[in-house]
Amino acid sequence: MQARAAIADGAGNFSLESIEVGDPLGDEVLVEIKASGICHTDHASLSWKRPLVMGHEGAGVVVKVGPEVRHVRAGDRVVLNWVIPCGTCASCERGEEVLCEVSKPAYVMEPSAAHAHAEGSRWKSEPVDRSFNIGTLAELTLVRAAAVTRLPEGVPFASACIVGCGVMTGFGSAVNIARVEAGASVAVLGCGGVGLNVIQGARLQGAGKIIALDARESALENAMAFGATEGVLVKEGDEQLENAIAEVHAINGDRGVDYAFEATAIPKLGRIPLQLARNGGLALQVSGIYDPGGVVMPGVMWTEHSVAPL
Ligand SMILES: [Zn+2]
Ligand SMILES: [Zn+2]
């Protein structure tokens, strides 16, 4: 079938093109995309040195399923996810599908359990990559069955689509990884899409104090609307966030918080959660910072088995 798709050229640009999408084989699902989010990574994907169908946050309707698919059928409303677990590797067997050793969203054309067959998406008669294995900035996409989850009735597609990336990155960090407990104190640095969902997750877990930090007043207003109990404005010139960190400690009875999250994607801020957390607290760097230079950690010392913020 023909479909329109946003194709990144690998050199920083994109264009709307016509692609040919094939029928689902085996455990594959053909989805008509109804809404797709745009994440900051989509901007990065413009320069991934090869053409690809853009987009990795999508929701839509199942058009057709392969013969092995059992959990959805044509007409089902679904949300897509890009961590597509194989179900059989050591991580998946431990129940940590999010760490699947086979699913490699950044290496989309290597044959693996995460990919629908390469010939299933063609542009100019050649197979074309699907960003993060799902390529949601297209009218149609072909994905593995494990990439689709049925949506409850009544959830609008435009809301559902972002659950597949930004929402779960933040919410999952608070609920599944940190397992914030009722009454806990939490700090969240960076209140964009991911940070706001850390806040929502912490709020749903019943956190007692949720302290939002951002350099933008408007972001702090959003944070309060999404469940933060306090806002700390990072002021210009507070490069190392010393003042902001001191303010968080002051709000929290002169100590660090139980759980500190970073959601800025700014490499030099990757270590800040270590200074926001109390001794024995948990520091989480959520935004996937890639910093080949390493992370310097002033204000932190190694004890026998762990690092302790000072
Ligand atoms: Zn994303
Ligand atoms: Zn696996």
| 208-237 pLDDT per residue, tens | 999 999 999 999 999 999 999 999 999 999
Could you tell me the distance, in angstroms and rounded to a whole number, from the CA of residue 165 to the centre of ligand 1? 5
Instruction: Residue 54: name the closest of 67, 44, 63 by CA.
Output: 44
Q: How confident is the model at residue 83 (pLDDT cuts 50, 70, 90)?
A: confident
Q: How confident is the model at residue 309 (pLDDT cuts 50, 70, 90)?
A: low
Could you tell me the distance, in angstroms and rounded to a whole number, from the CA of residue 166 to the centre of ligand 1? 6
Interacting residues of 305 by C-beta distance below 8 A, sequence separation 6+: none
Higher pLDDT, 195 or 44: 195
* Class of the domain covering 2-164: alpha beta
Distance CA 108, CA 87 (A): 18
Which ligand sits nearest to residue 93's alpha carbon? 2
What does the pLDDT read at residue 298? 66
* Class of the domain covering 167-307: alpha beta
Percent of all residues in the chain with a pLDDT value above 70, rounded to a whole number: 92
pLDDT in tens, 4-55: 999 999 999 999 999 999 999 999 999 999 999 998 889 988 998 889 999 9
What does the pLDDT read at residue 115? 85
With H, G, I as helix, E, B as strand and everything else as coil, classify residue 56: coil
Could you tell me the distance, in angstroms and rounded to a whole number, from the CA of residue 76 to the centre of ligand 1? 24
Quick count: other Cβ atoms within 10 Å of Cβ 83? 19
Residue 303 has pLDDT above 90, yes or no: no
Lowest mean pLDDT among 174-183, 187-196, 211-220, 299-308: 299-308
Residue 96 has pLDDT above 90, yes or no: no
Q: Residue 230 forms beta bridges with which residues?
A: 211
What does the pLDDT read at residue 102? 83
- Residues of the chain within CATH 3.40.50.720 domain(s) are 167-307
Could you tell me the distance, in angstroms and rounded to a whole number, from the CA of residue 113 to the centre of ligand 1? 21
